[in-house]
Structure 1
Amino acid sequence: MKCVKPLLLASVLATTASVQANDLNQVIDKSNAINESAQKTQTKINSISDSMQSRLQTFKTLNKEIDGLAVYNAQLDKQIKNQLDEMSAINASMDQVSVIERQITPLMLRMITGLEQFVALDVPFLSQERATRVETLKNMMERADVTSSEKFRRVVEAYQVEVDYGRTIEAYTSLLDVDGQEREVDFLRIGRLELLYVTKDGSHAGSWNQAAQKFVAVDDTAISQINKGLRIARKQLAPDMLTLPVHASK
């Protein structure tokens, strides 16, 4: 009986050790399972965090785009408003076009008549050329294939030509009745201040007298000055002082 107790004690100890080992294994397994679950949970958390960061960045980007679109739309609204205002102004102008055209035609006719009278009363230089210009304008006014704007442009252009005559010097050749005989002469026009002529042989020269409405003879001493003026007008001589007879205006 004395030898039975040690064996029983050893058996109890072995059983206890086995139970403890099983419990420890279970604890370890549970700990590993918890760790694996924690790792999986952390992985999910990291994935959710990354997704949230990406969505937050996308949200910020979209907000910036929305702000930009708001500014762009506001600018477009201003442009559209301006365009609508311009369209309204254009429509109003178009409504008045027919009225303006009816008014501009009588104005042009009066301008042409005034130009014709002016040429007739002016110093008689380039008489045929200027009369032809007026006649061309009168014929143009009857044409339907020329727009009103083009007609007005040509009338104004004719006026500008007449204005330019008053501040230029010119030499040209034409026929003139000299002492009852038609002769070829050189004319010298100095603005509208003076119109002179000299025959080709230099034997006769004259100056236009606006008050008398005719050419009057000038002294032979003026012929050299007229020839000098002709050369200056033809750019054959540098500009220089001229001594010429001038008929004072009344």
Structure 2
Amino acid sequence: MCWRSHVCNNFTYSSACWRCLLFGAALLALPASAETQLHQEARDSQRQQAELQAHIDEADDEAREMLRELRALEAETRYLDGYSDALEPRLERQAESLARREQALDSLAATRDALPVLAEGMVERLARWVSQDLPFLVEEREARIESLGASDLPPPERLERALSAWRAELDYGRELDAWRGYLDTEDSRREVDYLRVGRIGLYFLSPNGHAGGVWLADEGRWQALDEAERSEVRKGLRISRDQRAPELLTLPLSRPLEQVAEREVSS
């Protein structure tokens, strides 16, 4: 074999060896690439698992928050139900009160229209009462009645004044009163002490105590008192002025008790 041939053969041999080496290297390189792929797939799987776990944890947190809100809503619902049950009777009472007020408002117009007539009737009855009563404080009582006839008074104010006048007249029936005034007769006018026992007795006594009288309502005149009766009037004057302890007085009456009761009932 010539050198060229030997060289060619060696070259050929060498070329064949290199092919073998390259094939072997490829065979050796194949498992490394697969391992790398496996590692990559493992990492991808772990990442996906981590992401899935994060989603699961997030879903769990959201579910727990929703469960907490649900329980809070249930507790609030129970509280509101209990409060509503407790509030129902109060609301019913308020509804009844509103209904009564509405009825009162409905009747207010009719009541307002009736006030003038009511006040006028009270004033007329009061005037008759005073004119038929014992003649004490006549000017004061008549002036009170005249003030009720003022045309510029609103109906509610007039009614209130009429009620006040009636209360004053009723108070006279429970009083023991004494005052000094003038007694007018047909031929003279003199100063005397008056004593009034409610509405059943009206008396006068002269300052020297020598003359006295009792008013007779049925006859409309004064009747003289004897010495014993004038002494009782004197005691009554001192009792009224807090100069003597209260005690029973024995005096004739200006009007029988039966008539006083009848007048109070009819009024």
Fold shared by both chains (TM-score > 0.5): yes
Residues matched between the structures, number: 228
Aligned position for 1:38: 49
Matched letter for residue 160 of structure 2? R
Secondary structure class of the residue paired with 1:110:
helix
Matched letter for residue 171 of structure 1? A
Gaps of 5+ in 1: 1-11
- Quick check: 1:214 aligned with 2:230? no
Aligned position for 2:20: none
Cα-Cα RMSD: 4.0
- Quick check: 1:186 aligned with 2:197? no
How far apart, CA to CA, are the structure 1 residues paired with 2:131 and 2:142? 8
% identity of equivalent residues: 27
How far apart, CA to CA, are the structure 1 residues paired with 2:110 and 2:127? 30
Deviation at 1:167, TM superposition (A): 2.0
- Quick check: 1:231 aligned with 2:242? no
How far apart, CA to CA, are the structure 1 residues paired with 2:166 and 2:101? 35
Residue 116 (structure 2) aligned to one of 100, 105, 111: 105
Matched letter for residue 93 of structure 1? S
How far apart, CA to CA, are the structure 2 residues paired with 1:66 and 1:217? 90
- Residues 160-179 of structure 1 aligned to structure 2 (within 5 Å): 160-177=167-184
Matched letter for residue 239 of structure 1? P
- Quick check: 1:93 aligned with 2:107? yes
1:242/1:110 CA distance change after superposition, 3 Å? same
Aligned position for 2:130: 119
- Quick check: 1:129 aligned with 2:136? no
Gaps of 5+ in 2: 1-23, 260-267
How far apart, CA to CA, are the structure 2 residues paired with 1:221 and 1:83? 64
- Quick check: 1:148 aligned with 2:155? yes
Secondary structure class of the residue paired with 2:203:
strand
How far apart, CA to CA, are the structure 2 residues paired with 1:80 and 1:181? 71
Deviation at 1:198, TM superposition (A): 1.1
- Residues 74-85 of structure 1 aligned to structure 2 (within 5 Å): none
Deviation at 1:40, TM superposition (A): 2.7
1:216/1:157 CA distance change after superposition, 3 Å? same
1:87/1:118 CA distance change after superposition, 3 Å? closer
Aligned position for 1:48: 59
Aligned position for 2:252: 245
How far apart, CA to CA, are the structure 1 residues paired with 2:201 and 2:233? 11
Matched letter for residue 40 of structure 1? E
Superimposed CA distance per residue, residues 158-180 of structure 1 (whole angstroms, 9 cap, x where no aligned partner) = 12222221222111221113684
Deviation at 1:238, TM superposition (A): 3.1
How far apart, CA to CA, are the structure 2 residues paired with 1:80 and 1:160? 36
**Conserved 8 A contact 2:215-2:223:** yes
Aligned position for 1:6: none
Secondary structure class of the residue paired with 2:202:
strand
Deviation at 1:62, TM superposition (A): 5.4
Matched letter for residue 210 of structure 1? A
Higher gyration radius (CA): 2
**Conserved 8 A contact 2:217-2:255:** no
Deviation at 1:80, TM superposition (A): 10
